[in-house]
Structures are given as structure tokens and as C-alpha cells.
């Protein structure tokens, strides 16, 4: 009995040490960007409807101006990086506000729905809004 207890203590001590010394990687569950057509970049002019500054991604609702007279504007929903990643690119939660006139570039969804991966935003003056596209930073994955 004494030998079994001693062996059990060694086993438990060894298992505890192994667990303690095992490197812990952060658990990251995320989707890929394969749903976006990264070979296509669309440029649109329009109006910000709203910008949700939430994790895991910022989402921008954008009303694209029609290319032809008499056609209704089209609503697009765009995904950007996380709030933290956007702050590192120079954004804050007040950079895009409802009613702002902007020009955007995006990678559209492959399935044709009016949504995409935000690449760049330009203000009414044509200047970039302190944002670097993913292609300039961390492509090919989202944070």
C-alpha cells in the first residue's frame, strides 16, 4: 500500500508540473476572410448611417449613392477590425458619425450581398480618415 501511495503522489506531482509548464496559447475563435472577394476592390460614395464600435468587429452601415439618376441608394454593411486594432490605426469611436459624407473602398462578399470588408475611408475633403487598410497591415487574417 505504501508503494502505491508513493507512486500516486509522484504521478500527481508529475502531472501537475506538466500542466504548469505547458505553454498556454490564447484561445482565439474567429472566422476567416475567405467570404470576402479580396481580388475585387469597390469604391463608393455615400453617407454613414451608423457605426457600431463593438467587439469583435466594428460594423459600419453605409448608404451608397446610386450610380444612375432615379435609382435608390443601396445600404451596405461593412466589417472593420476590432476597436483595439482600429485605435492602433488612428481611429476613435467618433471618427464616423451618422450623416457623414464619405468615400469608402471595400472587398465585397463573394455571394453578392451588399456587405464587405472595409479597406479605406475618405472624408468629404478626400483625405483618408487615419486608417490603414488590412492589406497594408495584417492581411490575410482578421484580428
Q: Output the pLDDT for position 47.
A: 97
Quick one: pLDDT band at residue 50, thresholds 50, 70, 90?
very high
Tell me how far apart the alpha carbons of residues 131 and 40 are, in angstroms, rounded to a whole number.
Answer: 19
Count the neighbouring beta carbons within 10 Å of the beta carbon of residue 33: 16
Q: Does residue 120 surpass a pLDDT of 90?
A: yes
Residue 107 CA to residue 102 CA, distance in Å, equals 17
Mean local confidence (pLDDT), 126-137: 64
Distance CA 133, CA 96 (A): 16
Confidence of residue 5 (pLDDT cuts 50, 70, 90): confident
Which residue, among 75, 52, 56, 55, has the nearest Cα to 65 in the 3D structure? 75
Q: Is the pLDDT of residue 107 over 90?
A: yes
Task: Give the whole-number percent of the chain exceeding pLDDT 90.
Answer: 51
Q: Is the pLDDT of residue 83 over 50?
A: yes
3-state secondary structure 31-43: CCCCCECCCCCEE
DSSP-H helix ranges across 42-113: 83-88
Which residues are 65's β-sheet partners? none
- Give the number of other Cβ atoms within 10 Å of residue 67's Cβ: 9
Amino acid at each position: 500500500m505504501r508503494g502505491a501511495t508513493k507512486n500516486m503522489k509522484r504521478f500527481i506531482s508529475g502531472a501537475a508540473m506538466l500542466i504548469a509548464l505547458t505553454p498556454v496559447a490564447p484561445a482565439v475563435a474567429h472566422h476567416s476572410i475567405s467570404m470576402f472577394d479580396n481580388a475585387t476592390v469597390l469604391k463608393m460614395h455615400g453617407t454613414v448611417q451608423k457605426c457600431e464600435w463593438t467587439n469583435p468587429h466594428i460594423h459600419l452601415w453605409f448608404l451608397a449613392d446610386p450610380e444612375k439618376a432615379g435609382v435608390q441608394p443601396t445600404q451596405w454593411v461593412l466589417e472593420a477590425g476590432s476597436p483595439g486594432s482600429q485605435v492602433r490605426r488612428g481611429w476613435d469611436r467618433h471618427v464616423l458619425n451618422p450623416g457623414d459624407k464619405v468615400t469608402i473602398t471595400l472587398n465585397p462578399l463573394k455571394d453578392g450581398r451588399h456587405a464587405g470588408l472595409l479597406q479605406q475611408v475618405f472624408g468629404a475633403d478626400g483625405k483618408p480618415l487615419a486608417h490603414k487598410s488590412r492589406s497594408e497591415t495584417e492581411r490575410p487574417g482578421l484580428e
